[in-house]
Amino acid sequence: MRKLYIKQKVFSLSGKFSVKDAEENEIYFVEGSFMKIPKTFSVMGDKQNEVATITKKTFSFLPTFFVDVHGQETMTIKKQFSFLKARYTIDAAGIEVQGNWWDMDFEVYQNRDFIGSVSKKWFTWGDSYELQIANDEMEPLLVALVVAIDCAKADQSAAVSVAAG
């Protein structure tokens, strides 16, 4: 089972970071467009070919993120209306997320077959995640899923900060 690691740089305005394997080789490169509308993240493979994109829907009442893998819309992450705690749903054909995905500790299944898991690493500077990949074909989807959830969480934190300030 292959392991990948995502460590985002704290306070990085460029929105660039890489996904590394256990030997610290860079496998994927992620680049965000914070100043563009709509906000997007591109996930590029080692040959700089785009393998996935995450796009935040513009002008929607509640935040929605679309995830495309290899040019096909694969999943949608939507915020649900809630007064107390932020709630999101993940809609994807045949993809099921089990566990506490908001806290980045979950397993991912496709048609009930285990394809990978994600766990957040604590006591690190910035957010760090470990991905365990059971199905190599699903690797770009799992990387995109982590980036999309992390983006949704960052938007939620920013909204709370603005509301509190």
What pLDDT score does 10 carry?
45
The DSSP secondary structure of the chain, one letter per residue, reads -EEEEEEPPTT-SS-EEEEEETT--EEEEEEE-TTSSS-EEEEE-TTS-EEEEEEEPSS-SS-EEEEEETTEEEEEEEEEP-SSS-EEEEEETTEEEEEEGGGTEEEEEETTEEEEEEEEESSSSS-EEEEEES-GGGHHHHHHHHHHHHHHHHHHHHHHHHHH-
User: Domains in the chain: how many in total?
Assistant: 1
Q: Is 146 a residue whose pLDDT tops 50?
A: yes
Percent of the chain with pLDDT over 70: 79
- Domain holding 66, by residue range, is 2-164
11 versus 60: which is more confidently predicted?
60
155 versus 137: which is more confidently predicted?
137
CATH number of the domain that residue 39 is part of: 2.40.160
What pLDDT score does 11 carry?
42
